[in-house]
Structure 1
Amino acid sequence: MNIVLDEPVATHGPALVQPRKARRRRPGKARLYAIALLVCAVYLVPMLYVVGVALGTNTASGAALFADGLHPENFVKAFQSADFALYFANSALVTVVSSACQVILSCMAGYALARINFRGRGLVLGGLIALLVVPPEVIMVPLFIILTKFPLLGGNDIFGAGGGGLLNTYFGLMVPHLASALGVFLMRQFYIDLPDELGQAARLDGASEYRIFWQIYTPLAFPAVAVVAVLAFQGAWNDFLWPLIMTRSNDMQTLQLGLTVFFQQDSTQWNLLMAAVLIISIPVVVLFLFGQRYFQSGIVAGADK
């Protein structure tokens, strides 16, 4: 009799506890969903306003944004307002080449700091971490002086005088984006937690360090490579200040500089400006959508490591 009476108590006990736990968790999830929706609205509402201005008239604002109807032709007018085809080609060349170089250099440097023992590795890593907190604007003036005084280039003599150096050149536009301390650090954090046994087994089979790096470890670090590629592309594509000080002719201007054509002395063509902003944002959005899965996994893996 005792055994029969005890069984219902054991079986009904958890059933009574689970609904209480579920009831306690629901308010917490509701708050999280509300906060997530609020954060989404903070980013979504300004973007919707940009789209509204791009489809409206230049004088429309606020409640009268669509008083005159929609004007999708603003996108065509914006692209025809300046030589945006040339600006697009310049931005594409600078961004693709510099992003590819940054990914390759970040992988090589990150692998060396994670997998190769050499004298002074800790000092190099400490300097790399210190560079993470240095704003790019701090090194902009020294870098500009170095590039404009580069010997034997751009009309300069062996002492770096007499010409412009790398001023108004494609390579001069690429230099700040060829390497990144953040990219090297992310790749190092990913490489360092990959199994050592993979490299040891490859060395026993006679593989060189270069082959181990490219064919064994780097394919496993593809999520981190995707993160570095997206960040490098976005940084080079959206850069405005460096092309502003490094270009002297209209033929070398990038898309970000081309947006200044809509700023006039007495007024600003806001509808055409916003239309152009949406157009030049398409490559970055497309790249992020294609690499979103790898981007998310790479960020989570880097945080876990």
Structure 2
Amino acid sequence: MRKKRMINKFTLYISLVILTFIFLFPLVWMLVSSLKNEFQIFRDMQSLQAFLPPAPADVEGGYFHNYVAAFQRVDLLRYIVNSLIYTIGIIIFGLIVNSMAGYALARFRFPLAGFWLGVIIATLIIPPESIFLPLYVLVYDLGWVNTYTGLIVPFIANAFAIFLFRQFFLDFPKELEEAAKIDGCSQIGIFFRIIVPLSKPVFATVAIVLFINHWNDFLWPLVVASDESMRTIQIGLQYFMNEPPIKWGQVMAALTVATIPMLLIFAFLQRYYVQGLTHTGSKN
């Protein structure tokens, strides 16, 4: 039995390693291709050399020549800053608004609470594209076109985030809140002094979900941020594909730069992310 258990564990680990490499192949190929010129990219396409960096003697202008050329070709740094302002703004305000809404649904008893929860969850089935036109008209009437306000405000409230917060807060020990009330702490004080510091997993989970969703946004920034100075990174990447000549090395360099923030935020918050997914959904 012990030998069989060890064989099963070894098989599991080997399978996980193989799956890891399969999922990493596109990222590795993109990163390696960003270090090559056009000829090398297509020459190595059907061999293992596609996943290996070129020899230093075969590189003209250094390994990072495509990155330098990409930043010189378009204002890539400006697009990255715009995307960071857009996504971080949604995350900061979204965590505050959605966490307070989730806490209210988990703790407070008010008329039609179940109905409003159902309405919030029901909005998840509405395709975002179906409301872009009326949303754009509203943003236009408010004078928010080509502004960070127009990019951020419409997406602060998020039904999925509210649901995650509610599910997490349902498991939160009420004894801690009652003890704080006995000490004279107000309801808002309980939330920010007791609930928030002890809820890092769900906050990290929601932050990662919001960051990935809005860092990759294309349609809404394209509609509401038509000015070149307001373009986000996803809009800026289209320049490399639509404006000839298409330099695939520069395309891969720009894609690598656009991918780095997502990898970093997940790397730093993955421990809390897993905990958040584990704790949410354990109660109805």
Bin for the TM-score computed over the shorter chain? 0.7 to 0.9
The answer to whether the 8 A contact 1:233-1:284 is kept is yes
The answer to whether the 8 A contact 1:105-1:179 is kept is yes
Match for residue 102 of structure 2 among 96, 110, 113: 110
Match for residue 193 of structure 2 among 212, 215, 219: 215
The answer to whether the 8 A contact 1:227-1:294 is kept is yes
Aligned to 1:139: 131
Match for residue 177 of structure 1 among 149, 155, 164: 155
Residue 69 in 1 paired to residue 58 in 2?
yes
Aligned to 2:224: 246
CA-to-partner distance for each residue in 1:208-257, whole Å, 9 max, x for gaps? Answer: 11111111122111111111112222222221121111122111111111
Match for residue 43 of structure 1 among 18, 23, 36: 23
Give the partner amino acid of 1:97: G
Aligned to 1:4: none
CA-to-partner distance for each residue in 1:139-192, whole Å, 9 max, x for gaps? Answer: 3233223322x3xx33xxxxxxxxxxx222211111343121111111111111
Using the TM superposition, give the Cα deviation of residue 276 of structure 1 relative to its aligned residue in structure 2, in angstroms.
0.9
Alpha-carbon separation, structure 2, partners of 1:233 and 1:292: 13
Alignment of 1:1-305 (within 5 A): 21-59=1-39, 60-61=41-42, 62=45, 63=47, 66=54, 69-70=58-59, 71-148=63-140, 150=141, 153-154=142-143, 166-264=144-242, 267-302=245-280, 304-305=282-283
Alpha-carbon separation, structure 1, partners of 2:156 and 2:183: 34
Alpha-carbon separation, structure 2, partners of 1:92 and 1:298: 24
Gaps of 5+ in 2: none
**Which TM-score applies when normalising by structure 1?**
0.81
Gaps of 5+ in 1: 1-20, 155-165
User: Which of the pair has more CA radius of gyration?
Assistant: 1
Alpha-carbon separation, structure 2, partners of 1:303 and 1:192: 9
Alpha-carbon separation, structure 1, partners of 2:277 and 2:58: 43
The answer to whether the 8 A contact 1:99-1:236 is kept is no
Using the TM superposition, give the Cα deviation of residue 303 of structure 1 relative to its aligned residue in structure 2, in angstroms.
5.0
Alpha-carbon separation, structure 1, partners of 2:247 and 2:213: 26
Task: Give the total of aligned pairs.
Answer: 271
Using the TM superposition, give the Cα deviation of residue 116 of structure 1 relative to its aligned residue in structure 2, in angstroms.
0.9
Alpha-carbon separation, structure 2, partners of 1:282 and 1:177: 23
**Which TM-score applies when normalising by structure 2?**
0.87
Alpha-carbon separation, structure 1, partners of 2:73 and 2:243: 16
Alpha-carbon separation, structure 2, partners of 1:256 and 1:271: 17
Identical aligned residues as a percent: 38
Bigger relative contact order, structure 1 or 2 (CA pairs below 8 A, ≥6 apart) = 2
RMSD between aligned residues:
2.1
Residue 194 of structure 1 aligns to a residue whose secondary structure is: coil
The answer to whether the 8 A contact 1:227-1:298 is kept is yes
Give the partner amino acid of 2:134: P
Give the partner amino acid of 2:29: Y
